[in-house]
Chains A and B, each alone.
Chain A
């Protein structure tokens, strides 16, 4: 492998890891607080991508500035989180917290299937490709390699900001502390007046918005089409399991590990591209069944 290809594989890996992290961190946050493995999480990613690509295509065709793509991504992410995620938690998940895990997974899987069809109903089966945001930022040259600034700088910067912002939010703000308190002990939290149901709802919306934000950012780099949600949920499960369920910083490292593993596989052994993330997960779980950073039965996030 020559140095140029090596650098290229690293850049690809970092850019991909940033997107996977955004989805995985939402998944792990929701699991940490609600203790529900949310299969429908991939749908939020896909809907964030669809909303950004379709609305973007319409407004850029009408002649608006491509820079509008960035605020559009944020708005799309929050809207998907609130409008799609909110009712799912409030009307459905809130009824199944006491039930068996297998049943919870079945319910969120059903939601995932329903949302897949909803996406086809709204956006059809034709792929969308809307890369104005990617092009607006131009290219950078590093080690003699020309790469898009969007993927090499913006995506990793957003991922790191989300990681730091989420940690500060949880540790420093009252809302964040309420989330940590409910995570540690729901009944004790209720006994000091914390409305755990509302904390669950807010957490779910934040987690869903993060996945949708990942999709919104991804929409500029890939074609948006049916099935993208399924691919992403499986991959972010691998990240979350590798990191240890509920581990926020761990999810960042595991996303990097799996992103890099995948991109090196593409250059060195393309047949293994799809398999590599799961091989990494398998290897980690064989040695540490609770994940890289997971502690067996301790506090969650």
Chain B
């Protein structure tokens, strides 16, 4: 459902990704593994259209180069960036609702989606009316996941979701992902992580990013960065 064909990204004269080719099948859970600076974030950002790149990225058979970045979430792509990037002026719930409102979902669709999100992440409900600027870093990661779930009906990309989380919270987050996986067998998940041990329980496959190149890896094995 997602295919990179000969993708190269150059930033400030440095090649971040070199002629990358890989395919992700629908309903797979992919662990995108690599050290800091290897190019994991850039891989996700190029799906969102935030990098200048050469080559092609196909999503459900469609060349994403023809789709404006702001139209890509509407294809069913939810993205939770590493640094959360919530809108601090709005409440937690407003943040979660916004992708659905922007995409023009009906009130009933939004309600249904919100119920599902609260079902998977019940802690979000208790902080629904708090300004997003006041939640802790770990809680913010949960909110960012909730926001990605609102629109990510086909593909959900989570960038370093466990980084900086206290162990208890990391455990909670992994649990929420497992519930999500159980509830929705169709959706495709791509999760970047520098510590693949956290993902070996539920990822189907590992892709390793190393020095701007990508290869198949082993979960929990020698590819632990």
Binding site for B on A (CB under 8 A): 174, 177-178, 180-181, 184-185, 187-197, 299
Q: Which of B50, B73, B89 contacts A192 (CB 8 A)?
A: B73
Query: What secondary structure prevails in chain A residues at the interface with B?
Result: helix
Residues of B within 8 A of A177 (CB): 90, 94, 98
Q: For chain B residues 72-121, which have a beta carbon within 8 Å of chain A?
A: 72-74, 79, 81, 85-90, 94, 98-99, 101-103
Residues of A within 8 A of B74 (CB): 193
**Cross-chain contact A184 with B70 (CB below 8 angstroms):** no
Binding site for A on B (CB under 8 A): 48-50, 68-74, 79, 81, 85-90, 94, 98-99, 101-103, 147, 151
Whole-angstrom CA separation of A201 from B134 in the bound complex: 31
Whole-angstrom CA separation of A221 from B85 in the bound complex: 47
Whole-angstrom CA separation of A36 from B73 in the bound complex: 28
Instruction: Supply 15 further A-B pairs (C-beta < 8 A) apart from A185-B85, A193-B73.
Output: A177-B98, A189-B87, A190-B49, A191-B81, A191-B85, A192-B73, A192-B99, A192-B147, A193-B70, A193-B99, A193-B103, A193-B151, A195-B68, A195-B71, A299-B89
Which of A180, A192, A196: most chain B CB closer than 10 A?
A192
Please give me the residue from chain B that is nearest to A301 by CB atom.
Answer: B89
| 7 A-B residue pairings within 8 Å (CB atoms) | A177-B90, A177-B98, A180-B87, A180-B89, A181-B87, A194-B102, A195-B71
Q: Name the distance in Å between B42's Cβ and chain A's nearest Cβ.
A: 13
Whole-angstrom CA separation of A161 from B149 in the bound complex: 39
Q: Name the distance in Å between A208's Cβ and chain B's nearest Cβ.
A: 23
Please give me the residue from chain A that is nearest to B50 by CB atom.
Answer: A187
Residues of A within 8 A of B151 (CB): 192-193
Residues of B within 8 A of A185 (CB): 85, 87
Whole-angstrom CA separation of A181 from B101 in the bound complex: 13
Residues of A within 8 A of B49 (CB): 190
Which of A174, A191, A193: most chain B CB closer than 10 A?
A191
Residues of B within 8 A of A181 (CB): 87, 89-90, 98
